[in-house]
Amino acid sequence: MVDSAGRQALPLALHTPLLDLLGCEVPVMNAGMGGVARHELAAAVGNAGGFACLGMVREPVERIVDEVTAMRALCDRPFAVNLIPSATRADLLQRQVDTCLQLDVPAITLFWEVDQDLVRELKRHSLLVLHQVGSRLDAQQALRAGVDVLIAQGVEAGGHVRGSVGTMALVPELAAMSPVPVVASGGIASGAGLVAALALGAQGVSCGSLFLATHEANAHPLHQRRLCEARADDTLHTYRFYRNWPVAAATRVLPNSVTRGDHDHLRSLREPTVIGTQDDLPVHLFSTDSPLRDASGSVTSMALYAGQSCGQIDTVLDVEARMRTLLSEAASVLAALRRDDSGQHLQDGAEPPASTRERPMPRETLVAALRELLAAERAGARTAAACHKDAYGHAQREQLRQLHEQEVRSCRALLRCLASLDAEPGQAVGDFYQKVMALNTLQERMQLIDKGQQWVRRRVEKLLAQALDDVLRQELELVLRYHGGAQGTSG
């Protein structure tokens, strides 16, 4: 299916509440691969509708500034910066965080041990915080700290691996106990994998190997070629790459001279052995740095990260083509699963048999009204997030933070309304954002935002005056409450 703009339309089953929280269109994000996920890859993921993540692990603040600036020049979508506190000197980490705050980075992704103080600091500044975890214990700690999204990393994942449980076992366990969205990571590189993750309770997926094998990735061609040639059982779970990582940590890599033990006799040397250069810096033997596009020297002896999803990847593509293929595969899987009682396929968004649903209000009229409200609420969420950075004083920033959260919740309720009607939500975003941001002062913007809230209340009250079923009435009453409307309108 395609939308009115000629783009591939997202099947209803793939439109999760996570999309409205993150401000993206597709429930797919790229892993924040250090060195590999720089602005070219991140911008391409964002422009393809996914949620972009810049891999800035241990990077100097000057690079963070340059990468965020370059990212914004190529893509105007929300994005995250990936940091790993446990692998970063405390002084550098604080400078990285301060820089991200100064740059008004909208989201931060964290990994490894849960630094609850850091999470709380980021939340005090109203950033979205995503935390990748590998166990239920880590998830509980992250939730106590106040994260907005959990990324459940299974042991199949490439690069540094936190836990010991498979993705398809970890995801449903965390989804069942988490009040925030869960994203699946590890072993996913196909539309079928995306659908499977959502079926187990995830609201999206995070992919590393899939995006490492793209033209926009800052990965060395040899690394990409080896990954495309590999199969799932070629990867190794090893502790042999340890230099510049402060704690013993497992990684999943492709075999090479290091994993064979060819250089073990050099481990005891006081001075590290230089095997190459990249980013104008030396690369040492046993380093956790993977070979980047400009790497030279013994590239084959560097850490060639690869997840077990490598068996599903056989060629290097550009990100747009990669995402298009992934969504096409997912749509095909969903179409095969959607059958009516006679065994015939029901296309996504098709009208179920009349005997299964009879609504007093014409379906087409109701769907159109709900889509109009959803487009307005998406614009409202974007507007609140944009105005937040211009707010002065804690009270006003908190007011806008709460407004953004209410708009996101309202979007979720409207999505549930459309889902109950088996209707596609569409990708439209209202023009309210442009109208508000065209105003010069924050006071003027707040006044127009208030008028927008009143417009939504009137529209919802008008719908509630119609004959609706209990599901729609309940969800619309939620929307009304989010906008300060009267409660108990069902009579």
Which whole number is the average pLDDT over 371-392?
A: 84
Q: How far apart are CA 204 and CA 17, in angstroms?
A: 10
Residue 489 located in a structural domain = no
Taking residues 81-100, report their average pLDDT: 95
Q: At which of 299, 315, 350 does a domain end?
A: 350
- What's the domain range around 7? 1-350
* Same-domain status, 253 and 171: yes
Is 217 within a domain? yes
Q: Are residues 148 and 243 in the same domain?
A: yes
How confident is the model at residue 321, as a pLDDT? 93
- The answer to whether position 444 is within a domain reads yes
- Coil vs helix vs strand at 354: helix
Same domain? 308 vs 404: no
Integer Cα distance of 316 and 299 in angstroms: 19
- Which residue has better confidence, 348 or 289? 289
Query: Which distant-in-sequence residues (6+ apart) come within 8 Å of 185 by Cβ?
Result: 31, 132, 151, 152, 153, 154, 157, 167, 205, 206, 207, 208
> What pLDDT is stored for residue 353 in this prediction?
43
pLDDT digits (tens, 9 = 90+) for 190-204: 999 999 999 999 999
State the sign of the Cα–Cα–Cα–Cα dihedral 446, 452, 457, 458: positive
Instruction: Of 73-77, 300-304, 478-482, give the lowest mean pLDDT range.
Output: 478-482
Better-scored residue on pLDDT, 244 or 123: 123
- Range with the largest mean pLDDT of 26-35, 348-357, 363-372: 26-35
What mean pLDDT do residues 236-245 have?
93
Closest CA to 302 of 282, 275, 325, 271: 275
Q: What's the average model confidence in pLDDT over 114-119? A: 94
Write the CATH number for 209.
3.20.20.70
Q: Average of pLDDT values for 434-439?
A: 84
Q: State whether 129 and 50 are in the same domain.
A: yes
Residues 73 and 49 in one domain: yes
Say if residue 287's pLDDT is above 60. yes
The answer on 403 and 309 residing in a single domain is no
238's enclosing H/E stretch is strand 236-238
Number of separate domains in the chain = 2
Quote the percentage of the chain above a pLDDT of 70. Answer: 92
Mean pLDDT of 365-382: 88
Rounded Cα gap, residues 436 and 430, in angstroms? 11
3-class SS of residue 401 = helix
pLDDT grade, residue 344 (50/70/90)?
A: low
What pLDDT does 423 receive?
Answer: 86
* Helices 116-124/90-102 angle, 10° precision: 20
pLDDT at position 336 = 81
Same domain, yes or no: 390 and 285:
no
For residues 325-333, average pLDDT: 91
Q: How far apart are CA 435 and CA 156, in angstroms?
A: 46
Residue 342 is predicted with a pLDDT of 44
202 occurs within a structural domain: yes
Checking DSSP bridges between strand 281-284 and strand 274-278, what pairing results, if any?
antiparallel
Looking at 141-155, 229-243, 386-400, 416-430, which range is the least confident one? Answer: 386-400
Mean pLDDT of 436-440: 83
Q: Ramachandran region of residue 51, left (φ > 0), alpha (ψ -120 to 50) or beta?
A: beta
In the predicted model, what is the mean pLDDT of the chain? 88
Region at 399 (left for phi over 0; alpha for psi -120 to 50; beta for the rest): alpha
The pTM of the whole model exceeds 0.95: no
Domain assignment present for residue 488? The answer is: no
**Runs of H (alpha helix) within 389-441:** 394-420, 432-437
2 and 22 housed in the same domain: yes
- Check residue 4 and give its pLDDT: 39
Residue type, 449: I
Domain boundary among 350, 377, 411: 350
Q: Can you tell me the mean pLDDT for 73-79?
A: 95
Residue the block writes with tokens 């008004």: 104
Question: What tens digit of pLDDT does each residue of 98-114 get?
Answer: 999 999 999 999 999 99
Of all residues in the chain, the percent with pLDDT exceeding 90 is 61
Would you place residue 169 in the very low, low, confident or very high pLDDT band (cuts 50, 70, 90)?
very high
> What is the predicted pLDDT for the residue at 472?
86
Q: What is the mean pLDDT of residues 369-379?
A: 89
pLDDT at 215: 97
pLDDT at 447 over 50: yes
- Which pLDDT does position 480 carry in this prediction? 86
Residue 84 and residue 138 in one domain: yes
Assigned domain for 134 exists: yes
Tell me, yes or no, whether 251 lies in a domain: yes
Q: Verify that 37 and 113 share a domain, yes or no.
A: yes
- 94 pLDDT above the threshold of 60: yes
In a domain, 41, yes or no: yes
Give residue 2's pLDDT: 42
Cβ atoms of residues 48 and 323 within 8 Å: yes
Q: Which of 296, 321, 350 is the last residue of a domain?
A: 350
Instruction: Clarify whether residues 401 and 444 are in a common domain.
Output: yes
Asked if residue 6 and residue 108 are part of one domain, the reply reads yes
CATH for 451: 1.20.1260
